[in-house]
């Protein structure tokens, strides 16, 4: 991992993803989470303040030690206990059917093998448990999509392998989870930001 990826990227993510608008999205994606929640790409822990009271614990999967340190204040303040349950969403060191819910925000873009991570989510979720996701990905408009493909190599270099062109809905459906709610829309911003802001917000259930 480069110095930039190790030290700068987690801090840029922290600055860029903690606005009031982002907190509103976090509250929406976290609504309905229950019990023991596995969170892929815990980052700086920005979802902690958006958790509903039905969440009893968080199993944080996070490879970056810098992000984990940045999350310390939030973990200390949180009413919900957080354990660092692993470093890689692609290989979860957790028993089958051991989680009630799973959460992924702005992370399926970055995990190198997102299919493998989703297979792991399916494995560790109990039947009837749900993955809640809020992710950015491929836009439906040809002109935006062209820019996403052009910008992706730079994006990946600056942001730890973050892709702009993943079809999040297809990835989730392909894992065997059944999507029961999904919204696809650009987050409000300047038009020039559209390649980064096509969002998929939804919930997908592990069939019983």
Of 107 and 148, the one with the shorter C-beta distance to ligand SAM is: 107
Of 17 and 98, the one with the shorter C-beta distance to ligand SAM is: 17
Give yes or no for residue 43 binding ligand SAM (CB under 6 A).
yes
The residues, ordered by sequence, that sit 6+ positions from 78 with a Cβ below 8 Å of its Cβ are 45, 48, 49, 51
Helix residue spans in 31-141 (DSSP H): 65-70, 72-77, 114-124
Q: Is 179 in contact with 130 (CB distance < 8 Å)?
A: no
Residue nearest to ligand SAM (CB): 43
Q: Could you give the 3-state DSSP secondary structure of residue 206?
A: coil
Question: Of 89, 2, 92, 90, whose CA–CA distance to 42 is shortest?
Answer: 89
Question: Of 99, 84, 93, whose CA–CA distance to 41 is shortest?
Answer: 84
Q: Could you give the 3-state DSSP secondary structure of residue 50?
A: helix
| Residues 133-172 close enough to bind ligand SAM by CB under 6 A | 160
How many residues bind ligand SAM (CB under 6 A)? The answer is 20
Give the residue, chosen from 13, 30, 55, 201, that forms a contact with ligand SAM under the rule CB under 6 A: 13
How far apart are the C-alpha atoms of 113 and 77, rounded to whole Å?
Answer: 33
| Residues 57-116 close enough to bind ligand SAM by CB under 6 A | 61-64, 67, 88-90, 105-107, 110-111
Question: Shortest distance, CB of residue 58 to ligand SAM, whole angstroms?
Answer: 12
How far apart are the C-alpha atoms of 199 and 138, rounded to whole Å?
Answer: 9
- The residue behind tokens 């354990």 is 83
Question: Shortest distance, CB of residue 26 to ligand SAM, whole angstroms?
Answer: 7
- The residue behind tokens 């819910």 is 101
Of 43 and 129, the one with the shorter C-beta distance to ligand SAM is: 43
Residue 46 tokens read as 């920005």
Of 84 and 184, the one with the shorter C-beta distance to ligand SAM is: 84
Of 46 and 139, the one with the shorter C-beta distance to ligand SAM is: 46
Question: Shortest distance, CB of residue 142 to ligand SAM, whole angstroms?
Answer: 26
Query: Interface residues with ligand SAM (CB under 6 A)?
Result: 13, 17, 40-41, 43, 46, 61-64, 67, 88-90, 105-107, 110-111, 160
């Amino acid at each position: 991992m480069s110095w930039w990826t190790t030290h700068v990227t987690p801090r840029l993510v922290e600055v860029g993803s903690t606005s009031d608008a982002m907190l509103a999205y976090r509250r929406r994606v976290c609504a309905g989470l229950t019990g023991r929640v596995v969170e892929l790409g815990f980052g700086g822990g920005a979802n902690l303040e958006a958790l509903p009271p039905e969440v009893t614990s968080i199993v944080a999967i996070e490879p970056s030690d810098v992000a984990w340190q940045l999350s310390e204040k939030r973990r200390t303040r949180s009413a919900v206990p957080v354990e660092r349950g692993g470093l890689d969403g692609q290989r979860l060191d957790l028993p089958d059917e051991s989680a009630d819910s799973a959460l992924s925000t702005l992370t399926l873009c970055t995990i190198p093998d997102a299919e493998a991570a989703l297979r792991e989510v399916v494995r560790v979720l109990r039947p009837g448990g749900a993955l809640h996701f809020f992710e950015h990905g491929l836009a439906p408009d040809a002109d935006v999509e062209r820019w996403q493909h052009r910008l992706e190599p730079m994006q990946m270099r600056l942001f730890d392998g973050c892709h702009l062109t993943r079809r999040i809905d297809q990835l989730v459906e392909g894992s065997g989870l059944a999507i029961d709610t999904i919204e696809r829309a650009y987050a409000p911003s300047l038009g020039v930001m559209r390649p980064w802001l096509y969002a998929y917000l939804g919930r997908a259930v592990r069939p019983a």
